[in-house]
Amino acid sequence: MRGQVKDYYALLEVSPVASAVEIKKSYRKLAFKYHPDTNPDNAFSATMFCEIQEAYTILSNTISRSKYDEERWLAGMSARAQDQVITTPHWIHMECRKLHAHMMSVDTYRMDHRALYDYIMLLISEEHMAILMQDPDAGINKNIAHLLILSARNIRHPYMEQLADRIRLLASEDEILMQKLDVQIRDSQSTAQRIKYLPYIILIVTSAICAIMYFWVNR
């Protein structure tokens, strides 16, 4: 699991649901307060000014803010999971349901795939898998497998491959779940291949267009 996610909202002294106008207003106030020109030779103010600039850069952009919000949510859920004193199959199942409900509302292509992978691996860690497999409830385990397949539906292929073995154990050889998992792995692999060759395709198409334009102008 990676390090703690910075709380950019706290740095800018705004709510996580603050509007772009509110974020900009607070940034301007704090930037003036901690600006090096206002606080010469003040190491703390210099550090705060850099932190505030970093926070504003992320939160002022719709795409980067959305990605940050997702990473922040997953980090919060991971912290709760790590602090859980008594872990039961029912608790793991409930956390998977919460994850699935959340993943249905986010842009899974732009999100932080590593953060999602880390959280799922926390839910089905070796310790948790031992709990689920010790006295297995096939119904709960299959439901967990199904929820995780849905939650990871667009995760990048390397992460999907690493999750697959543990999800298969939970699926308890359920034919429908195994088919869904296999299809999802193939889809993630196809997507990875398209992304890999996309720059070459763009280069070929661009070169072809340039060649056509050249011959058209010089005909």
Q: What's the one-letter identity of residue 94?
A: M
Domain final position from 60, 78, 108: 60
Q: Half-sphere exposure of residue 151, counting CA atoms within 13 Å on the CB side?
A: 29
Q: Do residues 52 and 82 both lie within one domain?
A: no
pLDDT for res 164: 95
1 pLDDT above the threshold of 60:
no
209 pLDDT above the threshold of 80:
yes
CATH number at residue 46: 1.10.287.110
pLDDT for res 39: 85
Write out the residue range of the structural domain in which residue 87 sits.
66-219
Q: What gap in Å lies between CA 186 and CA 122, rounded to an integer?
A: 24
Give me the mean pLDDT over the 198-203 stretch: 74
Q: Do residues 188 and 205 both lie within one domain?
A: yes
- Between 178 and 86, whose confidence is greater? 178
Q: What is the pLDDT of residues 103-158, one digit of tens each?
A: 888 887 778 899 899 999 999 999 999 999 987 788 999 999 999 999 999 999 99
Count of the separate structural domains present in the chain: 2
Domain final position from 60, 85, 103: 60
Q: Do residues 122 and 32 both lie within one domain?
A: no
Q: Do residues 53 and 72 both lie within one domain?
A: no
pLDDT for res 149: 96
pLDDT for res 3: 54
Most confident of 56-60, 106-110, 207-211, 212-216: 56-60
Q: What gap in Å lies between CA 158 and CA 134, rounded to an integer?
A: 28
Domain final position from 10, 43, 60: 60
Q: Do residues 97 and 173 both lie within one domain?
A: yes
Q: Do residues 45 and 91 both lie within one domain?
A: no
Q: What is the pLDDT of residues 66-98, one digit of tens each?
A: 888 888 888 887 777 776 667 899 999 999 999
Q: Burial, 90: exposed, middle or buried (Cβ in 10 Å; 0-12, 13-18, 19+)?
A: exposed
Q: What gap in Å lies between CA 203 and CA 104, rounded to an integer?
A: 35
